Structure 1
Amino acid sequence: MTADHEAEPVARWLAGLGLHAVVLPYPVAPEGATGPLHPAPLDAAAAAVRWVRAGGTGLDVDAGRVGVLGFSAGGHLAATLSTVEDAGARPDATVLCYPVVSLVAEPHVGSVDALLGTGADADARAALSADRRVTAATPPAFVWHTADDDAVPVSHAVRYAQALWAVGVPAELHVYPTGRHGLGLATDDVHVARWADACAAWLTQLGWRAPDA
């Protein structure tokens, strides 16, 4: 499933930072599906990046500064897109919010079943674990999670950041001590809501925003 509070409100927040934002309604598994959904979401996300880079939005887009942001299972999509070999489809920066990352270690079973179908073998799971796909070409990332997330373990966020650090790619990781899964902009949690300010500062440090923006 996708969540409305993780879509348009987030795009509006990014627009408030002076960035263009596009919401992608990517394919999800229909209720009761048992067959694999992959690679439909990844294909849709890759096509969206190419479309944005090619000027499809009609906005004044810098083709060398196209980022991707995703929450939870959407975070897995964003992370996986960030590790594709096709440079034209690979974003230049990644923001992951309580992401699903590994389909092997402490996996989110619902994501595994939706993407690969029930009974997927270990090799298929490993091939779609974003932390195992990271290379030196993977873009820098801002990653946040809450330590007591009871839906997707915080180890997923840590694994992705560690994988980036291991190949010399910058990553900023924020782990908040408590907070339910699915917080989005976390407007009802003052402490966790600080992730948005931290992310804005990261984008400034990345050179995507003016220092006084």
Structure 2
Amino acid sequence: MKYVAHIITAIIWTGTIYAQEYPLWPEGKTPYALSIDGETGSPLVTVYPSHRRDNHTGAAVVICPGGGYGGLAKDHEGHQPATWFLQQGVTAIVLQYRLGKEGHHYPTQLADVQRAIRWTRSQAEELKLDAKRVAVMGFSAGGHLASMAATLYEEPAYAPTDLLDKLSARPDFAILCYPVISMDWEVSHGGSRKNLFGPDRVNDDELAKKLSSNLNVTEDTPPTFLFQTNEDAAVPAENATLMFLALREHGVPVEYHVYQNGPHGVGLYRGDPVLGTWSEHLAAWLKTNFFYSPEVDRAAVKGTANLDGHPVAWGVLTFYPENSNLPPTSIRIRRGKFSATEVAGPVVGKARVTFEGSVWETTGADEDKVVRLSTLSPKDEQPIEIKIEAGAQPISLEFRSR
């Protein structure tokens, strides 16, 4: 289903990167519109299309900048992550949602993010996207909005206006960065609650429970990545931790990174050699969960591994698919044997294999020497390549350390 925006409001150029702004609703059809609405009172999406043939993945992400529901940190929590995703071959859509400081309160913001996710799916043909690989990302209060999108996607936040609203508002992945999660006064960000609820409902405890995303997690909540710093004084780490525990309790795939140091609102923070690594963990997690490529079958594998004629006492084999957008798979070796079920095995197809291991426990040698190889021996030039397929025979690997 193709939806063409009625107006292209701007084309933004940044070096070789360009972005286009589109209104979320047709003119005159925006729900919860106010007569005093100014520039930020009109919900928009700024689209950064992935167009390079060499790395286009077909995935998309809707990004919600933070700002306590009173402003929008469009640069370091909007434009910068959007350009980072472009480097990964992902189309990024930065959402300009409406704000509490301009009189817009719940459910307006949920309506905006639901519409943005539906709008993104409606552009699948135009932008060459896979409608089954649409993520939502949010920072701080934008993280709360993203978490609402991930947990309240069946909530009718607005009355349907056109065919676009028949599309699903459920994101396939959620990325929550130092997010506001709970609306409990004890752990929440007070400013976010005040701006989201509005002056008439700021002390509404029932609404606080309804909009505490950790209380809305189900087994159908999408896989989630969480990033937080322990020193965050604005949005306590209890927020992300509550979300992690709720996701874990319901069996939702989740990864949670807490850094010891770092203030609130850092964005990518690529200049920091420690905190700036969080986006690398995100990229690895996205690959593991088939965000960069449609999901493919895995295969059960088993076999034996020897080093210098001895069973490998401890080691790991890593299978790297030919398609670099597919996840690598590491399998542990113990006492010369390795195995993985179909659920945990490598993806089907040609794979390059690397090895790391030791035979020290087997030989009782004076020195524990860990050997790392991408070939069967240091003298070989040919990489280890194996065709992974269902029902294959056991694999036998004989490594040499010299």
Deviations 1:60-90 (A, max 9, x none): 1111110000000000000011002428111
- Aligned partner of 1:84 in structure 2 is 152
Unpaired segments ≥5 residues, structure 1: none
1:57/1:23 CA distance change after superposition, 3 Å: farther
Structure 2 CA distance for partners of 1:134 and 1:171, relative to 1, 3 Å: same
1:59 equivalent in alignment to 2:130 = no
- Contact 1:69–1:94 (8 Å) recurs in 2: yes
Secondary structure of 1:187 counterpart: coil
| Larger-gyration structure (1/2) | 2
The residue that corresponds to 2:399 in the other structure is none
Say whether 1:5 aligns with 2:117.
no
Return the match for 1:29 from 91, 100, 105: 100
Is the CA contact (8 Å cut-off) linking 2:140 and 2:235 kept in structure 1?
Answer: yes
Q: Deviations over 1:32-55 (max 9, x none)?
A: x6xx61111110100011111122
1:39-50 superposed matches below 5 A:
39-50=107-118
* Structure 1 residue 212 displacement after superposition: 2.5
Question: Once the 2 structures are TM-superposed, how far is the Cα of residue 187 of structure 1 from its aligned partner?
Answer: 2.4
Deviation at 1:109, TM superposition (A): 0.5
**Which residues of 2 match residues 64-143 of structure 1 at below 5 A?**
64-86=132-154, 88-104=168-184, 105-118=186-199, 119-143=202-226
Cα distance in 2 between the residues matched to 1:47 and 1:143: 23
Q: CA RMSD in A?
A: 1.7
SS in 2 for 1:24: strand
Superposition deviation, residue 121 in structure 1: 1.8
Matched residue, 1:195 = 278
1:51–1:57 CA contact under 8 A, matched in 2: no
Structure 1 outlier segments of 4+, above 3 Å: none
Q: Name the CA distance, whole Å, in 1 between partners of 2:195 and 2:279.
A: 29
Q: TM-score, normalised by structure 2?
A: 0.50
Instruction: Flag the structure with higher strand content.
Output: 2
Tell me the percent identity: 40
Between the two proteins, the alignment pairs up a number of residues equal to: 210
TM-score normalised by the chain length of structure 1:
0.93
What's 1:170 paired with? 253
Distance 1:57 1:28, change over 3 A: farther
- Any unmatched runs of 5+ in structure 2? 1-70, 155-166, 294-322, 326-402
- Residue 18 (structure 1) shift: 1.2
Once residues 81 and 179 of structure 1 are traced to their aligned partners in structure 2, the CA distance between those partners, rounded to angstroms, is: 27
Q: Tell me the CA shift for residue 113 of structure 1.
A: 0.4
Kept after mapping to 1: 8 A contact 2:150/2:174: yes
Q: CA distance change for structure 1 residues 11 and 38 in 2, over 3 Å: closer, same or farther?
A: same
Q: Does the CA-based 8 Å contact 1:93-1:140 persist in structure 2?
A: yes
Higher helix content, 1 or 2: 1
